[in-house]
């Protein structure tokens, strides 16, 4: 039986986090009333002209530098012509022949192996508006708030060979964009969009197969699923003696399949030509160097530093550096005196669990690095149990932002580490449980748990569990 491999290239559209639109001064705020963030320029009135948002250019150059691209000293905008109600000018201002960034790559790590995915180009363009289909009338509505919001289109080489790699690439790209602060990376809200060119070929064959373009992958979790489906579909087509046709397919997340858009958007001729209303972009070297000097430490470098500098496991370093705010939070905690390995472990286990429950990022809660550090030192000193720390105390910090030592005091959670007091409690329980003591002594050692439970109950959970264990065993022997 023939073995196939997938060939995937991704075209990612990232909405830039600029305050104003690409070619006018309108706000880019999300979620306002329809058509309230518009002006003659972004609604395509007669006679008005675009003026490039320099911040958008800076963001694009930043992204190019962070993905190892060459920044073109001479670049220009082009018009992409087509009719659609959400495209007010009848053309989109984009870049075609001379994009601002070319020839870069992103490194992904999969099963411990690093792989470079080439970036063909990154260019700037403006977003279209939105058509809203509401009510039963014969009309649709057009909201142009989004029209003109700056986008970056990031086009990868067809270097991706599996759905897992595609997902990893998207994840890495998103992380880089968020590190740079140029895009919030929110696929569900549409500020990060991904179209995929997918084809298959027999393993060993050099030529590419015919590709299908998969659109509408509107959530992170669907990147892998959509690719998996499409690859299986293409293999099935070929194995049944058919041929894959070049077409656009839409991912339907409800059905979990891709469907042909046949006829809807076939054979567009966009009639690209240089945008005569904007002068060519000449990004001078000094400015590019200046932008380069403002680049933050990027995730790969940070990850390496965390592993070698703090000695934390690769797995922990991966998770911590995935978001810049997590990495910063971690480092703040270490700076405040936390032991790196323990801090990392606590974040990844106890804190992540809660963040997931509350659907928040680490910097969006009342828990600050100082809380964790003081909590860890309370455990260290035996002033509280780690069980207590993970449960009641952490709960309270998330709720009120109070310092752990105050919580311990207020709730009377100070651990009993006084041997005399613990022994007294043990004696009382053993005296009440003569039968169990005898069974234990005749070999039923599982009963130790029963005794511990009783003692903890009697001390309202405050007894130092380690001491209870030790003293109990001594008494019973």
Partner 1 sequence: MKLNELTISELRRLLDDREVKPGEVLDDIYNRIDAVDDKVKSYITITKDVAYEMAKDAEQAILSNKASLLTGIPVAVKDNMCTKDISTTCASKILHNFKPPYESTVTARLKEQGYILTGKTNLDEFAMGSSTENSGFHTTRNPWDLERVPGGSSGGSAAAVAADECIAALGSDTGGSIRQPAALCGVVGLKPTYGRVSRYGLVAFASSLDQIGPITKNVADAAIMLNAIAGHDPSDSTSAPMDVPDFANVLGHDIKGLKIGIPKEYFIEGMDKDIEDSVRTAIKKLESLGAIPVEVSLPHTGYAVATYYILATSEASSNLARYDGVKYGFRVDGKDLLDMYMNTRAQGFGSEVKRRIMLGTYALSAGYYEAYYKKGQQVRTLIKQDFDNAFKNVDVIVTPTSPSAAFKIGEKATDPLQMYLSDIFTISVNLAGVPAISIPCGFTRDNLPVGLQIIGKHFDEESIFKIAYAYEQSTEWHLRRPQL
> Of residues 26, 142, 173, 320, which one binds Zn ion by CB under 5 A?
26
Least distance (Å) from partner 1 to the CB of residue 36? 15
Contact 16, 59 (CB under 8 A): yes
Q: What three-state secondary structure class fits 13?
A: strand
Q: How far apart are CA 369 and CA 378, in angstroms?
A: 14
Of 84 and 315, which has the nearer Cβ to partner 1?
84
The CA angle 190-192-195, to the nearest 5 degrees, is 95
Minimum CB distance to Zn ion, residue 121 (Å) = 27
Place of tokens 């656009």: 248
Q: Are strands 141-143 and 130-132 parallel, antiparallel or unpaired?
A: antiparallel
Q: Is 24 in the site for Zn ion (CB under 5 A)?
A: yes
40 vs 337 by CB, closer to partner 1: 40
Among 40, 242, 311, 401, contact with partner 1 (rule: CB under 8 A):
40
Q: Which two tokens stand for residue 39?
A: 């002006």
For residue 261, state whether it binds partner 1 (rule: CB under 8 A).
no
Shortest spacing between CB 49 and Zn ion, in angstroms: 12
Q: Is 240 a residue that touches partner 1 (CB under 8 A)? A: no
Q: How far apart are CA 90 and CA 129, in angstroms?
A: 12
Q: Find which of Zn ion, partner 1, none residue 49 binds, CB within 5 to 8 Å per kind.
A: partner 1
Q: Which one of partner 1, Zn ion, none interacts with residue 142, CB within 5 to 8 A by kind? A: partner 1
DSSP 415-475: -B--HHHHHHHHHHHHHHTHHHHHHHHTT-TTHHHHHHHHHHHHTTT-B-HHHHHHHHHHH
| Binding flag, residue 42, partner 1 (CB under 8 A) | no
How remote is the C-alpha of 2 from its chain's centroid? 36
The interface partner of residue 26, options being partner 1, Zn ion, none and the CB cut-off 5 to 8 Å by kind, is Zn ion
Q: Is 419 in the site for partner 1 (CB under 8 A)?
A: no
Q: How far is the CB of 278 from partner 1 (least distance, A)?
A: 5
Residue 238: closest CA among 260, 267, 209, 197 = 209
Q: Is 238 helix (H, G, I), strand (E, B) or coil?
A: helix
Question: Which helix (DSSP H) or strand (DSSP E) does residue 200 occupy?
Answer: strand 192-202
- Binders of Zn ion among 37-56, rule CB under 5 A? 39, 41-42
Main-chain dihedrals φ then ψ at residue 415, nearest 5 degrees: -70, 140
144 binds Zn ion per the rule CB under 5 A: no
Subset of 99-158 contacting partner 1 (CB under 8 A): 142
Q: Give residues 43-82 in contact with partner 1 (rule: CB under 8 A).
A: 43-52, 79, 81
Nearest to 339 by CA among 379, 395, 389: 379
- Smaller CB distance to partner 1: residue 51 or 381? 51
d(CA 217, CA 194): 6
Which residue in 3, 83, 285, 286 binds partner 1 (CB under 8 A)? 83
- Which partner from the list partner 1, Zn ion, none does 31 bind, CB cut-off 5 to 8 Å by kind? none
Spatial neighbors of 77 by CB under 8 A, at least 6 apart, are 52, 93, 94, 95, 124, 274, 275, 278, 281
Residue 51 or 295 having the CB closest to partner 1: 51
Minimum CB distance to partner 1 smaller for 262 or for 271: 271
Whole-number minimum distance, CB 323 to partner 1, in Å?
38
Q: Which of 219, 273, 391, 424 binds partner 1 (CB under 8 A)?
A: 273
Q: How far apart are CA 9 and CA 161, in angstroms?
A: 9
Cα separation of 118 and 157, whole Å? 5
CB of 74 to partner 1, least distance (A): 16
The partner in contact with residue 62, picked from Zn ion, partner 1, none with C-beta cut-offs of 5 to 8 angstroms by kind, is none
- Closest listed residue to residue 422, CA positions, set 452, 399, 443: 452
Residue 138: CB partners within 8 Å, gap ≥ 6? Answer: none
Query: Does 147 interact with Zn ion (rule: CB under 5 A)?
Result: no
Please give the Cα distance from 395 to 399 (Å, whole number).
6
Q: Does 292 bind partner 1 (CB under 8 A)?
A: no
Complex with Zn ion: residue 38 or 258, whichever CB lies closer: 38
Tell me how far apart the terminal alpha carbons of the chain are, to the nearest angstrom.
Answer: 67
Q: Give one word for 217, left, alpha or beta, with left for phi > 0 and alpha for psi -120 to 50.
A: beta
Closest CA to 374 of 415, 328, 327, 333: 333
Contact between 235 and Zn ion (CB under 5 A)?
A: no
Question: Among partner 1, Zn ion, none, what binds residue 48 when CB lies within 5 to 8 Å by partner kind?
Answer: partner 1
Two tokens at 281? 């972009």
User: Cβ of residue 29: shortest distance to Zn ion, in angstroms?
Assistant: 12
Give yes or no for residue 34 binding partner 1 (CB under 8 A): no
Name the one range near partner 1 by CB under 8 A: 55-63, 273-281, 320-328, 427-435: 273-281
Q: How many residues bind partner 1 (CB under 8 A)?
A: 28
We find the least distance from the C-beta atom of residue 154 to partner 1, in angstroms, to be: 25
Instruction: Give the footprint of Zn ion on this chain (CB under 5 A).
Output: 24, 26, 39, 41-42
Instruction: Give the footprint of partner 1 on this chain (CB under 8 A).
Output: 40, 43-52, 79, 81, 83, 85, 88-91, 142, 269, 271-273, 276-279
């Amino acid at each position: 039986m023939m073995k196939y491999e997938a060939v995937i290239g991704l075209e990612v559209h990232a909405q830039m986090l600029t305050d104003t639109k690409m070619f006018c001064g309108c706000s880019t705020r999300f979620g306002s009333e329809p058509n309230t963030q518009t002006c003659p320029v972004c609604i395509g009135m007669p006679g008005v002209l675009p003026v490039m948002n320099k911040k958008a250019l800076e963001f694009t150059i930043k992204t190019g530098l962070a993905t190892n691209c060459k920044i073109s000293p001479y670049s220009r905008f082009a018009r992409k012509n087509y009719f659609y109600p959400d495209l007010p000018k009848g053309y989109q201002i984009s870049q075609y022949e001379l994009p601002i960034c070319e020839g870069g790559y992103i490194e992904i790590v999969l099963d411990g192996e690093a792989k470079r995915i080439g970036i063909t180009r990154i260019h700037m363009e403006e977003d279209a508006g939105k058509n809203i289909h509401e009510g039963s009338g014969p009309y649709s509505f057009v909201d142009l708030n989004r029209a003109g919001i700056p986008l970056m289109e990031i086009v990868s080489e067809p270097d991706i060979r599996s759905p897992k790699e595609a997902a990893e690439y998207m994840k890495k790209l998103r992380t880089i964009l968020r590190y740079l602060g140029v895009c919030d990376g929110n696929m569900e809200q549409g500020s990060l969009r991904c179209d995929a060119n997918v084809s298959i070929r027999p393993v060993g064959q050099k030529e590419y197969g015919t590709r299908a373009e998969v659109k509408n992958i509107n959530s992170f979790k669907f990147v892998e699923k959509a690719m998996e489906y499409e690859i299986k579909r293409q293999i099935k087509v070929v194995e049944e003696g058919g041929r894959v046709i070049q077409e656009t397919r839409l991912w339907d997340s409800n059905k979990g399949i891709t469907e042909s858009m046949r006829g809807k958007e076939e054979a567009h001729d966009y009639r690209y030509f240089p945008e005569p209303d904007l002068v060519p972009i000449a990004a001078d070297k000094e400015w590019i160097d200046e932008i380069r000097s403002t680049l933050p430490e990027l995730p790969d470098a940070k990850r390496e530093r965390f592993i070698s500098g703090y000695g934390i496991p690769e797995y922990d370093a991966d998770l911590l550096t995935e978001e810049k705010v997590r990495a910063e939070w971690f480092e703040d905690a270490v700076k405040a005196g936390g032991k790196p390995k323990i801090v990392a472990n606590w974040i990844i286990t106890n804190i992540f669990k809660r963040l997931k429950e509350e659907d928040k990022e680490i910097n969006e809660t009342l828990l600050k690095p100082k809380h964790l550090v003081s909590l860890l030192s309370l455990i260290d000193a035996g002033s509280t149990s780690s069980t207590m720390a993970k449960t009641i105390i952490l709960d309270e910090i998330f709720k009120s932002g109070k310092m752990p030592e105050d919580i311990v005091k207020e709730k009377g959670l100070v651990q009993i580490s006084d041997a005399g007091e613990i022994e007294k409690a043990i004696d009382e329980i053993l005296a009440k449980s003569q039968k169990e003591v005898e069974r234990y002594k005749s070999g039923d050692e599982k009963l130790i748990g029963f005794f511990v439970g009783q003692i903890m109950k009697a001390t309202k959970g405050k007894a130092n569990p380690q001491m209870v264990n030790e003293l109990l065993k001594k008494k019973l022997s």
